[in-house]
Structure 1
Amino acid sequence: MRVLQLAALTKFPWLVHGFSTRPGGVSELGGKLVLDLGFTDWDSGENVLENRRRLQSALGAPDMALVSLRQFHSDVVCLFDKAPAEVCRGDASATNRPGLLLGVQTADCVPILLVDPCRHSVAAVHAGWRGTLQRIVQKTIGRMQMEFGSRSADLIATLGPAIGGCCYEVGTEVASAFAAQFANAAEWFDELRTGDAPNPLQWLSMAPPGHQPPPKNVLLDLRKANRCHLLEAGVREENIFVSDLCTACHTDFFFSYRKEGPHSGRLMAVIGLRESLGYSEH
């Protein structure tokens, strides 16, 4: 098993964090054993629980309470001061209480981990295109400011492996929705090159510049969009770390719903505060 970590965060002894990868579990997919961390239709609950146990053990946090969410591509931020009795619906979670390990599941969407080293508070964010459109990472920062007294300038943000702008094809209706919300949305999209042969009769119906029909699909860079949202929220550029690993390009190492379909597994990004080892009350 290999868990990816940000070197800039490993210096905090009171912090647990990591981004899971595909190998190293007990779930069987495509003839190989994988670390599926989500309760999907094709996998058993027993396998997922064992995989989660292995992840926590690899992080040196076997006794922390793993707090996951019932994600639904929303802008809902859940705050936790203890392990909940039932799974909460939302796509971001935050806490300043030691002993809780916050987790969000992904299989292409952007996992974002936030750390306030001054106030000892953390958050985990699941940002798909719908959550990004609703500014979920900015809303999470806002909740941290209101509830924990965090300052944007103190935060460290890590964007983990996700589908890249090289592979994330979306319809023009998604591009239009972003353009209606964000003045700089054009920076996050590229026209999809289909390789279709040019139409020799196109000049007969050619519209004036600016009035041509848009391409059927475009490519969206979700990490670039969320990085912009972090900067707009006041997070310092030097405190934003963005992985360049594309889940769709590397299905040997990650899960990708776009590449694998419903039988894809789920990755998990986790973050939490240890109950001891360098933690002090504030």
Structure 2
Amino acid sequence: MAENRRNFLRYVDGDLGDKRGSVLVGVRQIHSDVVHIVREADGALDGKLQTADGRAVLEGDGLITNVPGVLVGVGTADCVPVLVVDREKRAVGAFHAGWRGTVAQIVERGVAMMMTEYGSRVEDLEAAVGPSIGACCYSVGREVHREFRERFAYGEELFRVGVGEEEEKLYLDLWEANRRQLLEAGVGEDRITVVGECSACKVDAVGELKYFSHRGEKGVAGRMLSVVGVVG
């Protein structure tokens, strides 16, 4: 895993000559609304926010930073990665939004923290909702349906009922749920990009799964890494 991350960073950085490469900071993800602020004094550039084998020190599901040279990232294999950028204040955020993090409004919380910490204005923010399991494949139980319906006025709109099956199933649209949170936070609709590719069923040119998927690979899957940072 550590070698994969080093290769990933070399690919992201390209040929830097004598310049120092980027440092990746992640979190030990717990399906929460916990967002950490990565400040220069935290020692991220000196590797203090990861262990010797590259594992994250911080526990939570979101990171924001304005430290040049730091990439903040989240790992997913069906959950939604949401990346937010403020080009004016040179600040960024990365959020891991499974259904629990989404219902806990981690994306709205993260945007609010960027506004408080960096003085970000919502009209300056751009966001991307990355590949994850889509409403085509994400069947959930009644308890998840109840959580969303009770938390959001638009909660019912996020679900569809499976048709023509022996047992009725509910399918949740996490892309739309997180897009709606970005809108609720004040991010302009024209500044939100939804990739819209399902990790559980999108295939490549040879018919193999294009993305890692916990459900699509029956629990034995790697992780995709979605990162964003400020150029050093």
Length-normalised TM-score, structure 1? 0.72
CA offset at residue 58 of structure 1? 1.6
CA offset at residue 252 of structure 1? 2.3
User: Structure 1 residue 70 and structure 2 residue 28: aligned?
Assistant: yes
Q: Which runs of 5+ in 1 are unaligned?
A: 1-47, 197-214, 276-282
CA offset at residue 228 of structure 1? 0.5
Check the 8 A contact 2:136/2:171 in 1, yes or no: yes
d(CA) in 1 for partners of 2:81, 2:49:
24
1:179 alignment partner in structure 2: 149
Give the aligned residue type for 1:218.
L
Q: Which runs of 5+ in 2 are unaligned?
A: 15-19, 51-56, 203-207
Give the aligned residue type for 2:98.
G
Check the 8 A contact 2:149/2:155 in 1, yes or no: yes
2:227 alignment partner in structure 1: 270
CA offset at residue 173 of structure 1? 1.0
1:234-262 Cα distance to aligned partner (Å, 9 max, x none) = 00011000011100013521100012133
d(CA) in 1 for partners of 2:163, 2:190:
34
1:217 alignment partner in structure 2: 169
Tell me, what secondary structure is at the counterpart of 2:170?
A: strand
1:79 alignment partner in structure 2: 37
Q: Which of 119, 128, 143 lines up with 2:89 in the alignment?
A: 119
CA offset at residue 192 of structure 1? 1.9
d(CA) in 2 for partners of 1:153, 1:178:
27
Q: Which of 84, 95, 108 lines up with 1:138 in the alignment?
A: 108
Q: Which of 260, 263, 271 lines up with 2:217 in the alignment?
A: 260
d(CA) in 1 for partners of 2:228, 2:38:
13
Check the 8 A contact 1:172/1:217 in 2, yes or no: no
d(CA) in 1 for partners of 2:128, 2:6:
23
1:58-92 Cα distance to aligned partner (Å, 9 max, x none) = 21268211101000000000010141445100100
1:13 alignment partner in structure 2: none
Mapping 1:185-204, distance limit 5 Å:
185-196=155-166
Give the aligned residue type for 2:146.
S
Length-normalised TM-score, structure 2? 0.87
User: Structure 1 residue 240 and structure 2 residue 186: aligned?
Assistant: no
Give the aligned residue type for 2:23.
A
Mapping 1:15-30, distance limit 5 Å:
none
2:62 alignment partner in structure 1: 92
Question: What is the percentage of aligned positions where both structures have the same residue?
Answer: 45
Check the 8 A contact 1:132/1:225 in 2, yes or no: yes
Structure 1 segments, 4+ long, off by >6 Å, are: none
1:148-185 Cα distance to aligned partner (Å, 9 max, x none) = 10011110000111100000010011001111111111
1:173-204 Cα distance to aligned partner (Å, 9 max, x none) = 100111111111111100122523xxxxxxxx
Q: How many residues align?
A: 210
1:31 alignment partner in structure 2: none
1:27-56 Cα distance to aligned partner (Å, 9 max, x none) = xxxxxxxxxxxxxxxxxxxxx111111211
Tell me, what secondary structure is at the counterpart of 1:66?
A: strand
Check the 8 A contact 1:189/1:220 in 2, yes or no: yes
